Chains A and B, each alone.
Chain A
Amino acid sequence: MILARSACFWLEKLGSAASEWEDAAAFHDGDPAAGTTPRYAVVDGATEAYDAIRWVAHLVGSFVADTGPDLTPDALRAWFEQAQRLWVAGAPTRFATVIEEHKFHTEGSFATFLGCRLTGLGGPGARWEAAALGDTVLFHVRAGRLLTHFPPIGVDDFGLSPDGIGTRPEALGPMLRALELSSGEVHPGDVLYIATDALAQWLLLEAGRDEASLWAALAGLDHDAVFAAIVADQRAAGRMRNDDVTLLRVRLATTEPGALVVPL
């Protein structure tokens, strides 16, 4: 039996308030006794999007819920449509300005998306399954080496993808056409990381430079302050773009981890 144990680290852009962090992550490690499947989601709200915080919170929460979608085009289409309906239903009853109203109707909100679930953890066919729109990326690491990353985006391709989950019904067709699905077999000891764009780009660069040290450091991350220090150092050195960053780590183990005590 493989057990999933997740942790999430995040940091807002340098210069922003913590309340302005517009990524979101949700994680549920499942319950073998109840038969619930581990589910994970990380999204990155577009900076120019309207009310991005409401949109990203809804997306991750509804994806990891027990009623979250299967990772098939049809199921995800239904989930996208439901999310768009709920977005409209939650519109302000009165807009403060005609510009705000115009933005709500013509642009709405938008976020990149990476949703993942783990199946078959009790048997020989344990797997991750994932769906992606945009440049939030899943990394599958085994024994200190990157097996694969999904979507298979190149280091120079971040920030150019127009793909994501939008609130406008007209976006549904392009979303379904751009939707990417993938899966991979997992073993005990594997680690999955899901990272938003600026961090994902940095991970790819660092993996190409010294991946053993990179994955060892991230596997051992145990405090928000350590994560924040790494990000701050890389930003200051110009190696990581100044953007909201989110890292969701899922460790796959066969035993419960020991208790962890850290100074606060």
Chain B
Amino acid sequence: MYEQTFSRTNPGCIVFLLDRSDSMKQPWQSSGGTLAEGAARAVNKILLDLCVKSAKEVGGRARHYFDVGVFGYGACPVAGGEGVEPALGGQPIVPIPEVFDHPLRVEAEQSVDAVAGSKLPVWIEPVFGYRTPMCQAIATAGEHVYGWAASHPDSFPPIVINITDGMVTDSPYDGAGLAEWAARLTSIETHHGQALLFNIFLSPTLAPEALFPVTAAGLPEPGPELFAISSTLPASMVANARGARVEIADGARGFVFNAGLATLVWFLEIGTRVADVRDR
């Protein structure tokens, strides 16, 4: 299980659930800016990384190694009001070549080690407002993930990464609570395993980071609940992380609390890296 690699024959599916509730306007103490800005930066960074992995030839388009989705929940900047809204051009699941070709804009790179004058694409804008309909987000993503898995039975199972700063406000939703919706999502499977749900719990306060923990001990609310619905990291991801000299205990969950931007990006890299892309 969980040994399949990403390829054009069997692309991967990576879906982000992005909390756009009002509380995401709070400052991100560890990395500056607001939580919404930090989360958007991290998702943009991972989308860039997926595009970079898929860019092979001089002058060529991206290869179709991935299908990606970003679902914002809370404020809906296009439709208005509160709810769940696809944030990649209004499309729920988008092939990476389309992402590659259609960023919202290109802006100067901000990292300290950026090549002078270099520019990078942006796909996701920071947004905040309203409450936190996390159950609806998992339910909505699940519908699309289910369809994707059914049409890609030989692919690595879908990876869903939820980025939030707090309490779900719509549990129960449609008769089921958060844990039930998470269980439904992770019951979706391909021949290579069940869908994975990872959770990133952002905090506006300065507190120790918890990265890939094996227990919920010491986590503030709603940390234990988010930890409980987080999938155990597959051995292939653990091996990759250890190969990159990251210490991860056996049984570690795909969960991080109070991450700064660097840790958040690192978490996302581990959580979206199955193995080297084995192109076909």
Contact = CB atoms under 8 A, between A and B. Distances in A.
A41 B195 CA distance: 42
A100 B7 contact: no
A52 B62 CA distance: 15
B243 A160 contact: yes
A107 B100 contact: no
Contact of A15 (B8, B51, B244): B8
B40 to A, nearest CB: 18
Nearest to A96: B59
A14 B280 contact: yes
B276 A105 contact: no
B7 A15 contact: yes
Q: Chain B's interface: helix, strand, loop or mixed, by majority?
A: loop
Interface stretch (B73-81, B115-123, B185-193, B207-215): B115-123
A51 B48 contact: no
Interface residues of A, number: 33
Interface string A10-29: 00011110001000000000
A107 B51 CA distance: 13
Interface string B221-251: 0000000000000000001000110000000
A47 B118 contact: no
A54 B9 CA distance: 24
Contacts of A99: 48, 51-52, 55, 62, 100, 121
A98 B280 contact: no
A2 B79 CA distance: 78
A107 B52 contact: yes
Contacts of B9: 15
Interface in B161-191: none
Interface of A: 13-16, 20, 46-52, 54, 92, 95-103, 105-107, 159-162, 241-243
9 contacts: A13-B278, A14-B280, A47-B277, A47-B278, A51-B56, A51-B57, A96-B58, A160-B239, A161-B243
Interface of B: 7-9, 48, 51-53, 55-60, 62, 100, 106, 109, 115, 118-121, 239, 243-244, 275-280
